[in-house]
Chain A
Amino acid sequence: MNAGNVARLLVLGLLVTFLLVPRWFAPVFAPLNQFGAPAIYDQGNLLSLALWHVATVIAAAFASALVAVVLGVFVTRPAGAQFLPLSRAMVNFGQTFPPVAVLAITVPLVGFGQVPTLIALFAYGLLPVFENTIAGLEGCPRATLDAADGMGMSAGQRLLAVELPLSLPLILEGVRLSLVINVGTATIGSTVAAKGLGEVIIAGLLSNNTAFVLQGGLVTALMAILLYDAMRLLERRWVRGSQG
């Protein structure tokens, strides 16, 4: 087992242990609090919050990756080229528009809970995948595409067999970026009653409990690191030939 795998297992082990039996870590967090305030979050199940958190992030990232890739493919085809400026503007707007504002707008429409958070994360995660998809598709070597045409691939065959595989490293990098950003961003969902680790942080802020804030932050950060790492492993497994 190499050093990378050891570190990976240690971080994962630490996170899982903390989520399963948080009270073991009470001595670590106790010094942060005064007047006998609880050192470990006690208003809900940490494990369940963490699972909701990661599920929300992955669902949103999956949806935005799917839409961004389809859109990126469309605007790089001759038929869709005229929609590139419009699509780019929309996707950029999705990222520059603050997620908090997205929540404020969507709650009256869809109510409180997981859904407004999913929408906010979806909009926020489009840009990296969209731009990387376009960069990947436009970066395919001219000679390779010429050969694909010359061999007699149809436009669809060329896309599936050559262009997307060659763009895969960049596309996956975009997905990784949007995943990691959204692990952090998702904490704001708790302001609209979405289940997630934001709850722990907000509870800490409301009751002046530094230990809660730190717990919520640390668990979120560890999940971001592990997701980042998992995506890297996936990339290495999926990317073939000289691209890796």
Chain B
Amino acid sequence: MITIERLSKRYDDAAVVDDVSMVVEPRTITTIVGTSGSGKSTLLRMVNRLVEPSSGRVLIDGEDTALERPHLLRRRIGYAIQGLGLFPHRTVAENIATVPRLLGWDGARVQARVAELLGVFGLEPATYARKYPHELSGGQQQRVGVARALAAGPNLLLMDEPFGALDPILRAKAQDDLLDIQRRFDTTIIVVTHDIDEAFKLGHRVAVMRAGRVLQHDHPARLITHPADPFVSQLIGTGERSLRLLSLLTAADAAQAGDAIEGPAVATTATLREVLAELVWRGAPAANVVDAGGTRVGNLSLHAILARGREAQ
């Protein structure tokens, strides 16, 4: 658990981060979203003390981070940034091995871990381990950046606009990968982004920042149904809010028991937004919800979907 207590950062009396308090639950993804210059990066960088707070403190599992030497603290916390910062003079394997080596792991353990991570990120070790970063595509470099951040198995991963440089297709893929990674390693992840869609897609909790303050930090659905500030509604966009709400729920959440019906089959993992789109496209009033094994788990009607996309629930 990460506890941020009354954290502020002032540069020449201008508060860049202004009295922020929030709790990040373990094994969740929290996204921090806001316009450029709102203090997101500064807030994130105070967690691993790349920026020293002017006041306030950060506790990780109850321990005050100010008490640990900064570079030792950072070895326990994964860090991935936009532009990646891969070491151009080191191979992919050497890049990924950075933190394990700093921690003094023995060679065999480092090698095994590097190979494991390359596998997880779909980079065949025999092909990629010895390549240099400039020999990789943008998407591959981005995966190496995340693999490097995860190399020593940190409980906490900080990411600052990690997918900022990717085109939309690679970006969507990278987001899906991150969700998988989070489930696989049970990591607590804080992601800074200026993209509200990304914030909603990734975040179990979303924090909205403006001018150094966190305006609201809550479940994404709560941000939509109960915005704490006009800026939050504006950021979400009133024209989009019902559909955003539907994209937060899956067919499994809303399926109702019943016999097989005439209509398309949709996966339990499909979002209600996707099911709605499918039903509109097929002109069907309801769908069969089917799990990964092909077993029917229930029905989902247009009516049931619409009921979920409304403010009052």
Contact = CB atoms under 8 A, between A and B. Distances in A.
A48 interface: no
B150 to A, nearest CB: 12
A40 B59 CA distance: 82
Nearest to A154: B71
B85 A144 contact: yes
B85 A141 contact: yes
Q: Which of A146, A150, A165, A243 has the most CB of B within 10 A?
A: A150
Tell me whether chain A's interface is mostly helix, strand or loop, or mixed. helix
A147 interface: yes
B92 to A, nearest CB: 11
A150 B74 contact: yes
A146 B81 contact: yes
B89 A165 contact: yes
B282 interface: no
Interface string B60-104: 000000000001111110010111111111110000001100100
Interface residues of B, number: 28
Nearest to B69: A154
Contacts of A143: 81-85
A162 interface: yes
Nearest to B72: A152
A222 B73 CA distance: 55
B47 to A, nearest CB: 11
A6 interface: no
A114 B272 CA distance: 86
A240 B82 CA distance: 23
Q: Which of B89, B99, B132, B148 has the most CB of A within 10 A?
A: B89
Contacts of A241: 87-91, 132-134
A89 interface: no
Contacts of A154: 71
A240 B89 contact: yes
A169 B154 CA distance: 35
Given A152-B74, A241-B134, A147 B79 contact: yes
A206 interface: no
A60 to B, nearest CB: 29
A45 interface: no
A162 B89 CA distance: 8
Contact of B71 (A145, A153, A239, A240): A153
Q: Which of B83, B88, B91, B133 has the most CB of A within 10 A?
A: B88
B306 interface: no
Contact of B89 (A152, A157, A166): A166
B28 interface: no
B84 A162 contact: no
B48 interface: yes
B133 A152 contact: no
A73 B158 CA distance: 31
A60 B183 CA distance: 60
Interface string B211-227: 00000000000000000
Contacts of A150: 48, 50, 74, 79, 81, 85, 158
Given A146-B50, A242-B88, A151 B133 contact: no
Contacts of B83: 141, 143
Contacts of B87: 144, 147-148, 161-162, 241
Given A146-B50, A146-B81, A242-B133, A152 B88 contact: no
A152 B85 contact: no
A138 interface: no
19 contacts: A141-B83, A144-B86, A144-B88, A145-B85, A147-B84, A147-B86, A150-B74, A150-B85, A151-B75, A151-B79, A152-B72, A153-B102, A239-B89, A241-B87, A241-B90, A241-B91, A241-B132, A241-B134, A243-B88
Interface of A: 141, 143-154, 157, 161-162, 165-166, 239-243
The 6 closest A-B pairs by CB, nearest first: A147-B85, A150-B79, A152-B75, A152-B74, A242-B134, A143-B85
